[in-house]
């Protein structure tokens, strides 16, 4: 993962060749299977605390990351398994973190909500809604300060938009012209609160106008549409240091967390079933197979490979020992 996938000439009209299609499909499937296994492990008590699944939203992380370079940065909230995996983290170490084991990305100290991977420039895993938006602006500040041409993608939910930090961050990034891509994953709910009960302006992309930066809304279930929108925003950020706001129209198929049943009071079962028809993985698979970019056998091979990697990840996490007791007191400060 985390290779820049560029458009390449194909006769399919989809704008992706077989290699890119294989990668996009594989990356989305990897996240899906990873989380299905995580849900099983949660039921078995191997994972504790809060576990927020990204199932249904995979196209956003995968489409976005496919337009980044490995040295670009990404930062996210607590529903971040997908963003972290897409950025290139080893599923084995991510699963070990969820299990609270010593080989986890954060040595078992962070858990599901606090994935960090310095090796892939993935900056977390933040569980206080809105907190990481100004942090993303700080990363943009540092990029510009050092004269680099990287970008930072900041993923956040519709629920962060009413927080002051969203507005402070947008204004600062716009005012100082920083290479930040604000990527709002609008899945229509913040826990049980629908956007129309939380926002005076429910068309989130329009906040971009207020701050004088480009903004657009994109179908968050269409990985190719996301690649287009993100591609434009990343180009602007790299060359002109212009921040952008993209609102991806997406949907979470599961409950808010494992503690919230999927068909809870705030949405109907029919709505959830209807949205599942937009499953980004199913749609993309159909699209590439029917366009002849991938054969049915190719797609099956991708699936098989993903299943093997996830089985390996679970086995690895299971085998990894608990962190030693002394680690309670390490990493509180950086020892230099």
Partner 1 sequence: MAVMTYRDALNMALREEMRRDGRVFLIGEEIGLYDGAYKVTQGLLKEFGPQRVVDTPIAESGFTGVGIGAAMVGLRPVVEMMTFNFALLALDQIVNSAAKMCYMSGGQFNVPIVIRGPGGPAAQLAAQHSQSMETYFYHVPGLKVVRPTTPMDAKGLLKAAIRDDNPVIFIESETLYHVKGEVPEDPEFLIPLGKALVRREGTDVTVIAYMGMMYRAMEAAEDLEKEGISVELVDPRTLRPMDTETIINSVRKTHRCVVVEAGAGFAGMGSEIGAFVTEQAFDDLDAPVERVTGANAPMPYARNLEKLKTPSKDRIVAAIRRVCNVNGS
Ligand X SMILES: Cc1ncc(C[n+]2csc(CCOP(=O)(O)OP(=O)(O)O)c2C)c(N)n1
**Looking at 32-40, 181-189, 238-246, 323-331, which segment touches Mg ion (CB under 5 A)?**
181-189
From candidates 26, 100, 220, 231, binder to partner 1 by CB under 8 A: 100
Stretch that binds ligand X, among 39-47, 146-154, 189-197, 309-317 (CB under 6 A): 189-197
| Prior bond of 125 cis (ω within 30°) | yes
Using the minimum distance from each CB to ligand X, give the nearer residue, 160 or 272.
160
Among 26, 82, 91, 130, binds partner 1 (CB under 8 A): 130
| Nearest by Cα to 210 from 201, 218, 219 | 201
The answer to the question of residue 265 lying near partner 1 (CB under 8 A) is yes
Query: What residues between 139 and 158 interact with Mg ion by CB under 5 A?
Result: 157-158
Neighbour tally for 112: CB within 10 Å? 27
Please state, in angstroms and as integers, the Cα–Cα distance from residue 79 to each residue in 16, 17, 170, 182, 256, following that order. 28, 30, 21, 16, 9
Q: Is residue 164 within the footprint of ligand X (CB under 6 A)?
A: no
CA 326 distance to own-chain centroid: 33
Stretch that binds ligand X, among 82-90, 137-145, 151-159, 289-297 (CB under 6 A): 151-159
Residue 255: how many other CB atoms lie within 10 Å: 18
Contact set for Mg ion, span 271-300 (CB under 5 A): none
Q: Give the residue among 41, 43, 34, 37 at the shortest CA–CA distance from 259.
A: 43
Query: Which of Mg ion, partner 1, ligand X, none sits in contact with 101, Cβ below 5 to 8 A by type?
Result: partner 1
CA 181 to chain centre: 13
Question: Of residues 50-109, which lie at the interface with ligand X (CB under 6 A)?
Answer: 79
Tokens at residue 59, please?
């196209």
- Tell which positions 139-178 bind partner 1, by CB under 8 A: 159-160, 162-164
In angstroms, what CA-CA distances link 60 with 56, 219, 246, 258?
A: 9, 9, 11, 21
Under rule CB under 8 A, residue 303 binds partner 1: no
Least distance to partner 1, CB of residue 134, Å: 12
Closest CA to 199 of 161, 238, 232: 161
CA dist., res. 40 & res. 264, Å (int): 20
Site string (119-148) toward ligand X, x via CB under 6 A: --------xxxx------------------
Residues that bind partner 1 (CB under 8 A): 48-50, 100-101, 106, 108-111, 113-114, 126-130, 159-160, 162-164, 190-193, 197-199, 264-266, 322-323, 325, 327-329, 332
């Amino acid at each position: 993962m985390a290779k820049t996938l560029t458009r390449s000439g194909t006769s399919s009209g989809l704008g992706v060749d077989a290699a890119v299609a294989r990668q996009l499909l594989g990356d989305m499937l990897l996240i899906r299977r990873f989380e299905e296994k995580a849900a099983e492990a949660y039921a078995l008590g191997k994972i504790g605390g809060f576990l927020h699944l990204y199932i249904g939203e995979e196209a956003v992380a995968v489409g976005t990351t496919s337009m980044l370079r490995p040295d670009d940065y990404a930062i996210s909230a607590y529903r971040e398994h997908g963003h972290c995996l897409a950025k290139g983290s080893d599923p084995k170490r991510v699963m070990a973190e969820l299990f609270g084991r010593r080989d986890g990305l954060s040595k078992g100290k962070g858990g599901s909500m606090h994935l960090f991977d310095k090796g892939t420039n993935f900056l977390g895993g933040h569980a206080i809604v809105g907190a990481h938006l100004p942090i993303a602006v700080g990363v943009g500040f540092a990029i510009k300060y050092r004269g680099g041409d990287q970008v930072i993608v900041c993923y956040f939910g519709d629920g962060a938009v009413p927080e002051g930090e969203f507005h402070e961050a947008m204004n600062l990034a716009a005012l100082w012209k920083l290479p930040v891509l604000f990527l709002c994953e609008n899945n229509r709910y913040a826990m049980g609160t629908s956007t129309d009960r939380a926002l005076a302006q429910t068309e989130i992309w329009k906040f971009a106008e207020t701050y004088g930066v480009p903004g657009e809304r994109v179908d968050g279930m269409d990985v190719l549409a996301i690649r287009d929108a993100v591609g434009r925003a990343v180009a602007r950020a790299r060359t002109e240091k212009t921040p952008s706001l993209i609102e991806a129209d997406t949907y979470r198929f599961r409950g808010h967390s494992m503690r919230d049943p999927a068909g809870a009071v705030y949405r109907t079962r029919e709505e959830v079933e209807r949205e599942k028809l937009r499953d980004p993985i199913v749609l993309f698979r159909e699209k590439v197979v029917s366009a002849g970019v991938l054969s049915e056998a190719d797609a099956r091979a991708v699936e098989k490979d993903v299943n093997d990697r996830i089985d390996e990840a679970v086995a690895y996490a299971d085998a990894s020992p608990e962190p030693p007791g002394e680690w309670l007191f390490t990493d509180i400060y950086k020892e230099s």
